[in-house]
């Protein structure tokens, strides 16, 4: 029996303060732009989680496992968002954003091996249950009125008196004043991994039946249920090479409704994947390659005409290839290379203009390279250096407005990171330097509801120092 308790406390800027807003286009403001004022109240988060796991060996071949968890998330804070932009003048507002989340989940399953003649079976079967409650209060808002207008191209801070902020009424608990969402689900799962030909061929047959109940004040109570199968195969060509394929289906309930009050349908879809894995030089080098196609139905995206609401797309389809290789060039010097090409597009939609458009927030090409060297012996043993690069191209905005005159593409970027570390005995120290050469990396969209652009930009060169000790 293993029990675990985690507590996290966060004191941070109000939500929304990390966005840049402008009517001139994405990426036109400095990296350090913010709408935050120093006398704003911070957002505070208290997060608790308790997990208990019981593992019991029934006999040499079978084991019973039970897992229970309770998670509680408390947030008391606010959200910054413009009410409008006129030229360079931004009018800001602050809304309360308090959250209480209570999650209770449990899993109980058995797994073991059994043989029928020369055929081996690896069985997994169990139940998965959950009950999730969330209470949100974003219904109190007010304009921020300083003694001078806020000009985004030349912001002046410190002109907003404390009396200009809205005083939120928290006399009632967030449970009493907040909007309540509830999700309850129960699922039965069974899987048989069949091993043939001296374990060279492995077939997986699995299925999950899920029933759910979702409830919120906008769409009322919605119940749904679906059986989702999974079929997989893996074959070892030799002791260093294997090929695999998998076909499975998905089912994800969605609470809520559109602005017009239409309830959201569950996400359904399927994944088809084919891959190859290989290792050589006694495992010092490994490589994998795969091709896949993921189809999703009833995907949600932001409603461009109604703030804080979503709309439901008809269908999206994502096809791609992924390649990964890792190995040791010389003693102590390791390299990791990977590349992914993703073609994600809308394939069905109530608005024909969206068909064949790129899925919002996706990148067509992503490549990464990472070199790591650690001194293997001598006086400097344990000293390490690393250098990596990331490149992304064919990027799309978070949400592309139906009006195709609005450019929905994001610029490509190449970013470098570096690190150095030193380990000796039980003690270790590491320094990471992110965005070494100050690349501009930003993502955003045109917000048609208020007629302005909003985006986030990653910080320029920044550092993280960590120290650890192993007992």
pLDDT value at 404 more than 70: no
In the sheet that holds 452-457, the strands lie side by side as 20-22, 452-457, 442-447
pLDDT value at 51 more than 70: yes
pLDDT value at 182 more than 60: yes
> What is the 3 state secondary structure string of 88-157?
CEEEEEEEECEEEEEEEEEEEEEEEEEEECCEEEEEEEEEEEEEEEEEEECCCEEECCCCCCEECCCCCC
Confidence of residue 437 (pLDDT cuts 50, 70, 90): very high
Confidence of residue 314 (pLDDT cuts 50, 70, 90): confident
User: CA distances (Å), 100 to each of 44, 139, 208, 219, in order?
Assistant: 12, 15, 30, 20
By the 10 Å C-beta count (0-12 exposed, 13-18 middle, 19+ buried), 466 is classed as exposed
Q: Are strands 452-457 and 409-410 parallel, antiparallel or unpaired?
A: unpaired
CB 25 within 8 A of CB 153: no
Higher pLDDT, 450 or 431: 431
Confidence of residue 231 (pLDDT cuts 50, 70, 90): very high
pLDDT value at 351 more than 80: no
Confidence of residue 302 (pLDDT cuts 50, 70, 90): low
Neighbouring residues of 33: CB distance < 8 A, sequence distance ≥ 6: 20, 152, 155
User: Which backbone phi and psi does 435 adopt, to 5 degrees?
Assistant: 55, 60
pLDDT value at 431 more than 50: yes
Three-state SS at 176:
helix
CA distance 432 to 47: 27
pLDDT value at 312 more than 50: yes
pLDDT tens per residue across span 110-120: 999 999 888 99
Identify the pLDDT of residue 135.
97
Q: For the chain, how long is the longest CA-to-CA vector?
A: 84
pLDDT value at 93 more than 50: yes
Identify the pLDDT of residue 402.
43
Three-state SS at 164:
helix
* Cα pseudo-dihedral 232, 238, 240, 245, rounded to 10: -20
In terms of phi and psi (left: phi > 0; alpha: psi -120 to 50; beta: otherwise), the region of 298 is left
CA distance 40 to 363: 35
Q: Rounded to the nearest 5 degrees, what angle is found at the Cα of 227, between the Cα atoms of 226 and 232?
A: 140
Instruction: Report the candidate in 436, 342, 435, 352 with the shortest Cα–Cα distance to residue 396.
Output: 342
User: Which backbone phi and psi does 187 adopt, to 5 degrees?
Assistant: -140, 140
pLDDT value at 60 more than 60: yes
CB 247 within 8 A of CB 272: yes
* DSSP result, 343-409: EEEEEE-SSGGGTTPBPTT-EEEEEEEEEEEE--SSTTTTEEEEEEEEEEEEEE-SS--S-TTS--E
Question: What percentage of the chain exceeds 90 in pLDDT?
Answer: 67
Identify the pLDDT of residue 403.
44
Identify the pLDDT of residue 97.
95
Determine the average pLDDT of the residues in 243-262. Answer: 85
Which residue in this structure is represented by tokens 């906008």? 218
By the 10 Å C-beta count (0-12 exposed, 13-18 middle, 19+ buried), 359 is classed as buried
pLDDT value at 401 more than 60: no
Higher pLDDT, 107 or 258: 107
Mean pLDDT, the chain, integer: 91
């Amino acid at each position: 029996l293993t029990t675990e308790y985690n507590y996290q406390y966060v004191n941070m800027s109000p939500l929304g303060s990390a966005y840049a807003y402008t009517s001139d286009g994405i990426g036109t403001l400095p990296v350090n732009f913010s709408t935050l004022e120093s006398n704003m109240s911070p957002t505070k988060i208290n997060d608790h989680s308790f997990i208990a796991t019981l593992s019991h060996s029934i006999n040499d071949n079978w084991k019973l496992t039970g897992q229970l968890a309770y998670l509680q998330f408390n947030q008391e804070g606010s959200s910054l968002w413009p009410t409008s932009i006129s030229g360079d003048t931004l009018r800001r507002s602050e809304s309360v954003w308090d959250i209480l989340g209570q999650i209770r989940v449990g899993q109980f399953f058995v797994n073991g091996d059994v043989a029928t003649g020369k055929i081996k079976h690896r069985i997994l079967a169990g139940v998965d249950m959950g009950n999730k409650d969330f209470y949100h209060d974003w219904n109190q808002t007010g304009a921020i009125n300083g003694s001078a207008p806020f000009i985004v191209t030349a912001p002046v801070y410190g002109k907003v008196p404390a009396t200009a902020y809205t005083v939120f009424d928290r006399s009632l608990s967030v449970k009493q004043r907040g909007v309540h969402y509830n999700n309850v689900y129960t699922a039965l799962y069974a899987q048989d991994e069949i091993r043939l030909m001296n374990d060279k061929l492995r077939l997986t047959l699995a299925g999950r039946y899920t029933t759910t109940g979702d409830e919120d004040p906008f769409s009322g109570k919605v119940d749904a249920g679906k059986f989702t199968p999974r079929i997989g195969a893996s074959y070892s060509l030799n002791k260093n090479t294997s090929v695999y394929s998998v076909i499975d289906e998905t089912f994800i309930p969605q609470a809520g409704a559109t602005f017009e009050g239409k309830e959201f349908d569950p996400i359904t879809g399927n994944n088809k994947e084919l891959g190859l894995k290989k290792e050589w030089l006694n495992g010092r080098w490994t490589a994998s390659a795969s091709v896949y196609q993921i189809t999703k139905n009833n995907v949600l995206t932001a409603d461009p005409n109604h703030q804080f609401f979503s709309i439901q797309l008809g269908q999206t389809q994502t096809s791609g290839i992924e390649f990964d290789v890792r190995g040791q060039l010389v003693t102590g010097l390791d390299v990791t290379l990977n590349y992914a090409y993703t073609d994600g597009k809308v394939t069905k939609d109530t608005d024909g203009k969206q068909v064949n458009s790129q899925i919002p927030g996706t990148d067509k090409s992503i490549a990464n390279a990472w070199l790591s060297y650690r001194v293997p012996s001598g006086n400097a043993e344990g000293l390490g250096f690393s250098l990596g690069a990331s490149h992304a191209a064919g990027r799309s905005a978070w949400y592309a407005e139906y009006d195709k005159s609005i450019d929905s593409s994001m610029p490509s970027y190449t970013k470098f990171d570096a690190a150095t570390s030193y380990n000796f005995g039980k003690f270790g120290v590491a320094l990471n330097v992110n965005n070494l050469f100050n690349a501009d990396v930003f993502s955003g969209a045109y917000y048609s509801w208020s007629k302005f652009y909003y985006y986030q930009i990653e910080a320029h060169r920044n550092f993280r120092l960590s120290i650890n000790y192993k007992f």
